[in-house]
Homo-oligomer: A and B are copies of this chain.
Amino acid sequence: MYTFADLEVRISSAEKEMEEIKSENAGKERQINKYDGILLNPDQPKVAFSLGLTNAGRLGPYNTDITLRFSKIFKNYGQAYNPDTGVFTAPVRGAYYFRFTFCEINNAHWMGIHLYHNSKIIMTNYDRSNTYYETMSNGVILELERGDVVYMVLQAPYTVYDDHRNYSTFTGFLLFQL
C-alpha cells in the first residue's frame, strides 16, 4: 500500500513531467507553424511570359535603335512584362531563361536585333539572307536581381516582320530563385 507521502511524491513527479511535456509541445508548435508558412506557399513565384511581336507587318527600318514592344501577349504570368514599354522587370532574384525567334518575309530586308539586360547588350543576332521567309532564334539564361530589366531592341536600319501568324516571338520564364 502507498502511504500519503508516496502519493505526494508521485503527484509532484507527474506535475513536473507535465510541465516538461507542455514545454516540448510549445517547441513543436513553433516548428509546425514554421512548416505551415513553407507548405502553404510551396511553389516558387510563377513568372513566365510569351509574346508575339505585332499584327502590323514590318517594323523598321528606323533611324535609331528602338525597344521592341511585343503587343500580343500569349501569357504573362506574374505580369512582369509591360506591353506599354516592351520591358520585362524581374519580380524576384533568380535565374531566368529567355528565347526569341524573328522572321523577315522579304528578300530585300535584313534582320538585326539586340537582347539587353539593363543597359548591357547580352547578345546580337543578324540574318542577312537574300531569300524569303527567313527566321533566326536564340536563347540564354540570365541571372537577374529583383528589379533588373530585359528587353529586345531592333537595330537601325534593320527590320523584323510579324502578323497574325506569330512569326516573331519572345518568351521567358523563371528557372529558379536565388
Contacts and interface: CB of A to CB of B under 8 A. Distances in A.
A146 interface: no
Nearest to A29: B28
A11 B18 contact: no
A5 B141 CA distance: 76
A165 B123 contact: yes
A123 B166 CA distance: 5
So how many copies of this chain end up in the complex?
Answer: 3
Interface in A112-130: 121-130
A40 to B, nearest CB: 10
A129 B135 CA distance: 10
In the complex, which range does the number of interface residues on chain A fall in? Answer: 35 or more
8 contacts: A14-B15, A14-B18, A46-B176, A48-B175, A75-B95, A101-B137, A128-B133, A138-B169
Interface stretch (A30-38, A59-67, A85-93): A30-38
Interface string A72-96: 0011010000000000000000010
A133 B109 CA distance: 13
Interface of A: 2, 4, 7-8, 10-11, 14-15, 17-18, 21-22, 24-25, 28-29, 31-32, 35-36, 38-39, 42-43, 46, 48-50, 52, 74-75, 77, 95, 97, 99, 101, 103, 105, 110, 121-143, 165-167, 169, 171, 173, 175-176, 178
Contact of A135 (B28, B99, B125): B125
A171 B140 contact: yes
Contacts of A46: 95, 176, 178
